Chains A and B, each alone.
Chain A
Amino acid sequence: AQTVTQSQPEMSVQEAETVTLSCTYDTSESNYYLFWYKQPPSRQMILVIRQEAYKQQNATENRFSVNFQKAAKSFSLKISDSQLGDTAMYFCAFMKLSGGSNYKLTFGKGTLLTVNP
């Protein structure tokens, strides 16, 4: 079974600064996807960024980028130029690409990020 660990329950950052959220995972799979989801106070989960394990290049989506270290099974999220609207719970998630057509997400416990003005 896969496990996803987010070791930082809470973090805070000043507006316009950069913050990095940590995520490690454990799997014996070689082919998988990793995700960061954002859950703002309104509660709807939103996909922030996605990384395919077979790609060495780190994914980037505007102010959001990841540092994917496959050998270390680490997948951190960097948020640059933090904005007040980035305040949310951030979940790291793993999806293995085997075992059928319904690919399931395994989530970490989340990191509550607060962006301070």
Chain B
Amino acid sequence: GAVVSQHPSRVICKSGTSVKIECRSLDFQATTMFWYRQFPKQSLMLMATSNEGSKATYEQGVEKDKFLINHASLTLSTLTVTSAHPEDSSFYICSAQTGGGLQPQHFGDGTRLSIL
């Protein structure tokens, strides 16, 4: 149980395009979803937290107009990287949690984003 599916697993696109990454909880209702960014040989850095039906809360230094997060249902959250540039290339990971608080976070497989 507690499976989180992230799609796509890898995307390569040209500079200036927008890229959407989906995060789905397959067998549970995700009241809260988290989006992380991971650079090579670095730790996961939390970008934003989203509660279903509410606006996402972004961490300091994360551009909310650059990284659009939508959590419109209890099973789906999307991260859209708008007008992506090479510096946005990274590994993006989502996690989902039901019930909030101290409930465990279940992680997706991640998305490797490469901007040419």
CB nearest to B9 among chain A residues: A43
A102 to B34, CA, bound (A): 10
Output the least CB separation between A88 and chain B (Å). 13
- Give which listed residue, A9, A44, A45, A105, contacts B46 with CB less than 8 A: A105
Q: Is the CB of B51 within 8 A of A43?
A: no
Binding site for B on A (CB under 8 A): 4, 9, 33, 37, 42-47, 50, 91, 95, 97, 101-110
Is A33 within 8 A of B102, CB to CB? yes
The answer to whether A109 touches B41, judged by C-beta atoms less than 8 angstroms apart, is yes
Q: What would 12 A/B residue contacts be, using CB atoms closer than 8 Å?
A: A4-B43, A42-B109, A43-B93, A44-B108, A50-B104, A95-B102, A102-B49, A102-B57, A102-B100, A108-B43, A110-B41, A110-B42
Known: A105-B46, A107-B44. 12 other contacts (CB 8 A): A44-B107, A45-B44, A45-B93, A45-B107, A47-B104, A91-B43, A91-B44, A102-B100, A104-B49, A105-B44, A105-B105, A109-B41
Contacts of B42 in A (CB 8 A): 109-110
- State A95–B46 Cα separation when bound (angstroms): 12
Complex alpha-carbon distance, A62 and B104, angstroms: 19
Verify if B95 is at the interface (C-beta below 8 Å from A): yes
Give A112 Cβ to nearest chain B Cβ, in Å: 8
Whether the pair B109, A107 counts as a contact (CB closer than 8 A) is no
CB distance from A54 to the nearest CB of B (A): 13
**Complex Cα spacing A106 to B34, Å:** 12
Interface residues of B in 55-111 (CB under 8 A from A): 57, 93, 95, 100-102, 104-105, 107-110
B32 on the interface (CB 8 Å rule)?
Answer: yes
Complex Cα spacing A45 to B63, Å: 25
Residue in B41, B43, B95, B101 whose CB lies within 8 Å of A103: B101
Please give the distance in Å from A110's CB to the nearest CB on chain B. 6
Select the residue from A45, A47, A105, A106 with max chain B CB neighbours within 10 A: A45
Contact in complex: B95, A109 (CB < 8 Å)? no
Chain A's closest residue to B103 (CB) is: A103
Contact between A45 and B51, CB atoms less than 8 A apart: no
